[in-house]
């Protein structure tokens, strides 16, 4: 049986790396894409995949086409690359606003369009990493919330537009995840630490593997009738306005 | 009361800008200068550009251009309002696709979704009441302006962070349009 082939952007760390490992464990051939050649090479070697080095914020980036060439086609494209800024709206510098829009919105649009012909050929799917902050906004990460709401709308629009071509488009909406971008945001807290995070109703912080499991499902044949959805993986945090109090207000 | 209207030119903007200053899709630096100079107590952000069609067919550069002319400008205007030491009311007028996406109008739906979230996060800021008015194409501009005026004119600070959808019930349920046709 021929292995399915996937590209994961932002695949060298955090949630992206967890997705790469999960897909490889499920038998996929994976193109690990990211800006760091060292990290991409290391993970690709670990999982038997291929490394693609590129920056999705660059309008001339051809990560999708290079991955398709390296793998001989694509059955899934997981647009996971993203950036976050720890700032409310008044504190958001113009340059950071532009970067968030470039990477989290415009690059997703550009790469989704680049992926379409490859996925139409295989009747494959796109999976966009959105965020729970796009479902229900968070003022302390204002620009990020705005960008992720836009990617959710993009997901739904593209699902309707490309469904007739046999291409599914879905999104995952992770909550606070470790390891994830929140554990590496500069200046936020001790890198890697989750102390101070609010515990969700289920009591434990979402892990990268949890998000990867949802991603693996949505690009699998088991999800062949699912398109245009945004799946929350947040341990219940967006289930109620006071969900963060469900664990007696305790912090983890 | 000092009203400032920024955004896309058109009948809605004209109706809202009667007797007030209107700046047509100003650049980010320009809108900051205008807000600091005019010190508005009411800000209407009109983001009703012509449709660019579906997302899959438009170049990313076009999405980028529209984002810059609408969402980025709106965000800069609201950022600047937070520098003022008095309360301001803001209304954002944008396409109905910001709540219920329309893939045939996917570009504007995506931008409008961003504007709705901008409204939501901005509504948490002290001194600013911001709401959104989402309008369908067929709604007469004078009706849109009338509701926008209501949203700007109320003194109720509890009306903050909310949306009103003006579509005549068109998108209230799936295929509501069909039911209307049957009834007629």
Domains of chain B: residue spans and CATH: 3-183 (3.40.50.720)
With 90 as the cut, is the pLDDT of residue A46 above it?
yes
B16 backbone dihedrals φ, ψ, rounded to 5°? -75, -25
Query: Of B121, B53, B54, which is closest to residue A156 (Cα–Cα)?
Result: B54
Indicate if the pLDDT at residue B167 is higher than 90: no
Cα separation, A107 vs A229, in Å, equals 20
A79-84: average pLDDT: 96
pLDDT in tens, A149-168: 999 999 999 999 999 999 99
Distance of alpha carbon A214 from its chain centroid, rounded? 11
CA count, 13 A, side-chain hemisphere, A191: 5
Among the ranges given (A50-54, A98-102, A204-208, B97-101), the one the predictor scored with the smallest mean pLDDT: A204-208
User: What does the alpha-carbon distance between residue A217 and residue A225 come to, in Å, rounded to a whole number?
Assistant: 12
Q: What is the structure's pLDDT at A252?
A: 44
Confidence of residue A251 (pLDDT cuts 50, 70, 90): very low
Question: Three-state DSSP class for A186?
Answer: coil
Strand partners, A68: none
Query: What is the CATH class of A5-245?
Result: alpha beta
Chain A residues with beta carbon closer than 8 angstroms to that of B51: none
pLDDT tens column, B168-180? 887 777 766 665 6
- Asked if A21 and A212 count as a contact pair (C-beta separation under 8 A), the reply is yes
- A48 sits in the region (left: phi over 0; alpha: psi -120 to 50; else beta) called left
> What's the mean pLDDT in A74-89?
96
Confidence (pLDDT) at A184: 58
Least confident of A64-68, A76-80, B23-27, B121-125: B23-27
> What's the mean pLDDT when you consider all of chain B?
92
Percentage of residues in chain A having pLDDT higher than 90: 81
Q: Which of B67, B65, B48 is nearest to B8 (CA)?
A: B48
pLDDT tens-digit readout, B78-108: 999 999 888 899 999 999 999 999 999 999 9
Helix (H) or strand (E) holding A173: strand A168-174
Residue holding tokens 């989290």?
Answer: A104
**Residue B174 burial (CB < 10 Å; 0-12/13-18/19+)?**
exposed
Residue B85, classified by CB atoms within 10 Å of its CB into exposed (0-12), middle (13-18) or buried (19+), is exposed
Q: Indicate which of A61, A131, A146 best probes the interface with B, i.e. most B CBs within 10 Å of its own CB.
A: A146
C-alpha to C-alpha distances, B61 to A130, A142, B13, B127, B141, nearest whole angstrom:
21, 24, 26, 35, 29
Task: Give the one of A88, A109, A150 whose C-beta lies nearest to B113's C-beta.
Answer: A150
pLDDT for position A169: 98
Q: How far apart are CA A143 and CA B178, in angstroms?
A: 39
Dihedral sign from CA coordinates of A54, B55, A180, A100 = positive
Q: Is the per-residue pLDDT at A225 higher than 50?
A: yes
| Nearest in space to B165 (alpha carbons), one of B89, B78, B94 | B94
The alpha-carbon gap from A182 to the nearest alpha carbon of chain B, in Å, equals 19
Identified catalytic residue from A105, A118, A141, A144: A144
What is the reported pLDDT for A62? 97
Q: Note if A188 is an active site residue.
A: no
Cα of A132 to nearest chain B Cα, Å: 13
Q: B180 to chain A nearest CA, in Å?
A: 24
A interface with B, Cβ–Cβ < 8 A, is 59, 88-90, 92, 94, 97-98, 101, 105-106, 109-110, 112-113, 116, 134, 137-139, 142-143, 145-147, 149-150, 152-154, 156-162
| 3-state class (DSSP) for residue A29 | strand
ipTM of the complex: 0.95
Q: What's the pLDDT band for A250 if we cut at 50, 70, 90?
A: very low
Give the rounded distance of the alpha carbon of A166 from its chain centre: 22
In the predicted structure, residue A177 carries a pLDDT above the cut 70? yes
Q: Do A158 and B78 touch (CB under 8 A)?
A: no
Mutate which of B80, B107, B110 to disrupt the A interface (most A C-beta within 10 Å)?
A: B110
- Mean pLDDT of the region A25-31: 98
Residue of A nearest to B122 (CA): A89
Buried b (16+ CB within 10 A) or exposed e, A202-235: eeebbbbebbbbbbbbbbbeebeeebbbbbbbbb
């Amino acid at each position: 049986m021929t292995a399915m082939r996937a590209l994961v952007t932002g695949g060298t760390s955090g949630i992206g790396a967890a997705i790469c490992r999960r897909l490889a464990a499920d038998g996929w051939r994976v193109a690990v894409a990211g800006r760091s050649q060292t990290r991409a090479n290391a993970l690709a070697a670990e999982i038997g995949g291929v490394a693609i080095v590129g920056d999705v914020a660059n309008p001339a980036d051809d990560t999708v086409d290079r991955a398709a060439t390296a793998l001989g086609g694509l059955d899934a494209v997981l647009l996971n690359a993203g950036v976050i800024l720890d700032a409310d709206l008044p504190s958001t510098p113009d340059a950071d606003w532009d970067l968030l829009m470039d990477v989290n919105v415009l690059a997703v649009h550009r790469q989704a369009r680049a992926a379409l012909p490859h996925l139409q050929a295989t009747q494959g799917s796109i999976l966009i990493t959105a965020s729970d902050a796009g479902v229900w906004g968070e003022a302390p990460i204002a620009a990020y919330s705005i960008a992720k709401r836009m990617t959710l709308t993009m997901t739904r629009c593209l699902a309707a537009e490309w469904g007739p071509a046999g291409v599914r488009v879905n999104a995952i909406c992770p909550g606070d995840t470790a390891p994830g971008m929140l554990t590496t945001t500069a200046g936020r807290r001790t890198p890697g630490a989750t102390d101070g995070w609010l515990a969700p109703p289920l009591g434990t912080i979402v892990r990268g593997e949890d998000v990867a499991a949802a991603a693996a499902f949505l690009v699998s044949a088991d999800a062949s009738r699912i398109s245009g959805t945004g799946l929350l993986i947040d341990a219940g945090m967006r289930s109620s306005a006071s969900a963060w109090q469900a664990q007696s207000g305790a912090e983890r | 009361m000092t009203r400032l209207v920024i955004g896309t030119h058109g009948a809605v903007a004209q109706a809202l800008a009667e007797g007030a200053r209107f700046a047509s899709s100003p650049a980010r630096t320009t809108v900051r200068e205008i807000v600091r100079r005019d010190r508005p107590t009411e800000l209407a952000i009109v983001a009703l550009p012509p449709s660019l069609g579906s997302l899959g067919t438009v170049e990313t550069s076009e999405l980028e251009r529209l984002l810059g002319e609408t969402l980025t400008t709106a965000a800069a205007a609201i950022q600047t309002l937070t520098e003022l030491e008095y309360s301001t009311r803001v209304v954002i007028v944008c396409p109905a696709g910001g709540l219920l996406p329309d893939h045939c109008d996917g570009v504007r739906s995506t931008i409008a979704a961003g504007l709705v979230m901008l409204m939501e996060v901005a509504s948490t800021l002290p001194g600013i009441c911001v709401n959104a008015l989402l309008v369908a194409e067929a709604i007469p501009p004078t009706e849109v302006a009338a509701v926008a005026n209501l949203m700007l004119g109320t003194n109720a600070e509890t009306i903050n962070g909310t949306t009103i959808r003006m579509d005549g019930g068109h998108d209230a349920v799936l295929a509501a349009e069909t039911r209307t046709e049957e009834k007629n």
